[in-house]
A = this chain, B = another copy of it.
């Protein structure tokens, strides 16, 4: 019996088996099979381990080996539907490599970030994945990491010197706007989130690029900012749709904003997509369930999470990994975007649909893919 807690230690096992702790350690060692050892001895030890319910103390192991097999995962808020798949991606590849994941929610609060970073360093995690940042002062905050050789990979754009996994927000937005322009829309408005967000800036830029490329930028250089919420989307859309010459298409910085726009359209008697087309960003699960279903840019969040961990592990292994890995997005066409009604599509220009490196896909139902019964409206 050990003295502290009820915990059984390697010494208890050694005593029970009538051998030394070194022998027990050898049985447990990963190189166990290779090590020559009398079968009988091994048996005694294994029996003792079994009977006592012994579980090696990874703390002691980590202390000695300078490696905890733990990684920290920092997200703004797991309740935001955008993050669960990313978290799952992280956890899946982490656990498949024997790493465990410590989850931290920052609410985008710099102080919380600092606090969590500190905690993670004190517990000596081997590495950290920081998602959804846009921490303008990140360099300062991550400076300590070097001292403890803690790996770091960012997901999304960060002003750090660390490797990162990203998407090309400019191109994705350009593609989405191009889709609308290709449908014949001439008056478009971008409904953004916080102007300080680099993500929003990039998406706004892609929007402007598409207009410029189609020589539409003079007509309606409408870019509005707000926050990443339904409320904000509602307010912006309501304002815009209530103007004397409302746009026929809205490109929204995320799906939540788009949902707000849906509500504003309903309240101002605009039909979607008859009177106004709406396109979102993120392809949140909800996008498939709202009516009309929402055309939106799908972001491979699960893959970004798993890629981040792979990058991190490579970094920890000393391999030289790419500094930035860009993942592909795709525009998922659903029912909220269509050609503008005849009477509304003035300002017509002749143009070809903007070329794009993104794939535009007509999204096939998973049910159909699985060969199940067809189902009309779920896509």
Interface residues of A (CB under 8 A from B): 4-8, 52-53, 55-60, 62-63, 66, 68, 70, 73, 77-81, 83-85, 87-88, 91-92, 95, 100-105, 116, 118-119, 121-124, 143-144, 146-149, 230-231, 234-235, 238, 259, 263-264, 266-267, 285-286, 289-291, 367, 370, 372-373, 375-378
Given A57-B124, A91-B103, A101-B103, output 9 extra A-B contacts at Cβ < 8 Å.
A6-B149, A55-B144, A58-B122, A70-B102, A81-B285, A83-B84, A102-B102, A259-B378, A290-B290
User: Known contacts being A58-B122, A291-B290, A375-B234, is A7 close to B148, with CB within 8 Å?
Assistant: yes
Smallest CB-CB A-B distances: 3 pairs: A291-B291, A58-B122, A53-B147
The chain B residue with its CB closest to the CB of A121 is: B55
Interface centre among A56, A100, A373 (most CB of B within 10 A): A100
What is the minimal beta-carbon distance from A365 to any residue of chain B, in angstroms?
10
A124–B58 CB distance below 8 A: yes
Q: How far is the CA of A8 from the CA of B7 in the complex (A)?
A: 30
Q: What residues on B are CB-neighbors of A103 within 8 Å?
A: 73, 87, 91, 101-103
B87–A78 CB distance below 8 A: yes
23 A-B pairs with C-beta separation under 8 A: A5-B66, A5-B148, A6-B148, A55-B118, A55-B147, A56-B122, A59-B123, A59-B124, A77-B88, A78-B78, A78-B88, A81-B285, A87-B103, A91-B104, A95-B105, A102-B102, A234-B367, A235-B373, A264-B375, A286-B286, A286-B289, A289-B289, A289-B290
Q: What residues on B are CB-neighbors of A87 within 8 Å?
A: 78, 103
A122–B263 CB distance below 8 A: no
Q: How many copies does the complex hold?
A: 2
Q: What residues on B are CB-neighbors of A52 within 8 Å?
A: 147
What is the minimal beta-carbon distance from A195 to any residue of chain B, in angstroms?
21
User: Known contacts being A100-B123, A102-B102, A263-B376, is A59 close to B53, with CB within 8 Å?
Assistant: no
A147–B91 CB distance below 8 A: no
User: Known contacts being A101-B102, A101-B103, A289-B290, is A63 close to B57, with CB within 8 Å?
Assistant: yes
Q: What residues on B are CB-neighbors of A7 within 8 Å?
A: 66, 124, 147-149
Q: How far is the CA of A354 from the CA of B43 in the complex (A)?
A: 64
Q: What residues on B are CB-neighbors of A121 within 8 Å?
A: 55
Contact of A53 among B4, B62, B144, B290 (CB under 8 A): B144
B105–A91 CB distance below 8 A: yes
Q: What residues on B are CB-neighbors of A79 within 8 Å?
A: 84-85, 88
Contact of A66 among B4, B144, B266 (CB under 8 A): B4
A60–B63 CB distance below 8 A: yes
Interface centre among A77, A104, A263 (most CB of B within 10 A): A263
Q: How far is the CA of A264 from the CA of B235 in the complex (A)?
A: 35
The chain B residue with its CB closest to the CB of A264 is: B375
A263–B378 CB distance below 8 A: yes
